[in-house]
Chains A and B, each alone.
Chain A
Amino acid sequence: AQSVSQHNHHVILSEAASLELGCNYSYGGTVNLFWYVQYPGQHLQLLLKYFSGDPLVKGIKGFEAEFIKSKFSFNLRKPSVQWSDTAEYFCAVLNSGGYQKVTFGIGTKLQVIP
Chain B
Amino acid sequence: DVKVTQSSRYLVKRTGEKVFLECVQDMDHENMFWYRQDPGLGLRLIYFSYDVKMKEKGDIPEGYSVSREKKERFSLILESASTNQTSMYLCASSPHLGQGKYEQYFGPGTRLTVT
User: Closest CB of chain B to A29's CB: distance in Å?
Assistant: 13
Determine whether the beta carbon of B108 is less than 8 Å from that of A43: yes
Residues of A within 8 A of B103 (CB): 34, 46, 49
Determine whether the beta carbon of A107 is less than 8 Å from that of B102: no
Tell me the bound Cα distance from A45 to B103 in angstroms: 9
Which of chain B's residues 67-115 have a Cβ closer than 8 Å to chain A?
A: 90, 92, 94, 96-97, 102-104, 106-109
User: Closest CB of chain A to B99's CB: distance in Å?
Assistant: 11
Tell me the bound Cα distance from A51 to B100 in angstroms: 9
Determine whether the beta carbon of A102 is less than 8 Å from that of B50: no
A-side interface size class: 20 to 34
Tell me the bound Cα distance from A9 to B40 in angstroms: 8
Residues of A within 8 A of B90 (CB): 44
- B interface residues (Cβ-Cβ under 8 A, vs A): 31, 33, 35, 40-45, 48, 50, 56, 58-59, 90, 92, 94, 96-97, 102-104, 106-109
- Offer 12 A-B interface pairs, CB within 8 angstroms, sorted by A: A1-B59, A6-B42, A9-B40, A34-B104, A44-B43, A44-B90, A46-B104, A49-B103, A100-B31, A100-B97, A101-B45, A104-B35
- Nearest 3 A-B pairs (CB), nearest first? A106-B42, A104-B43, A44-B106
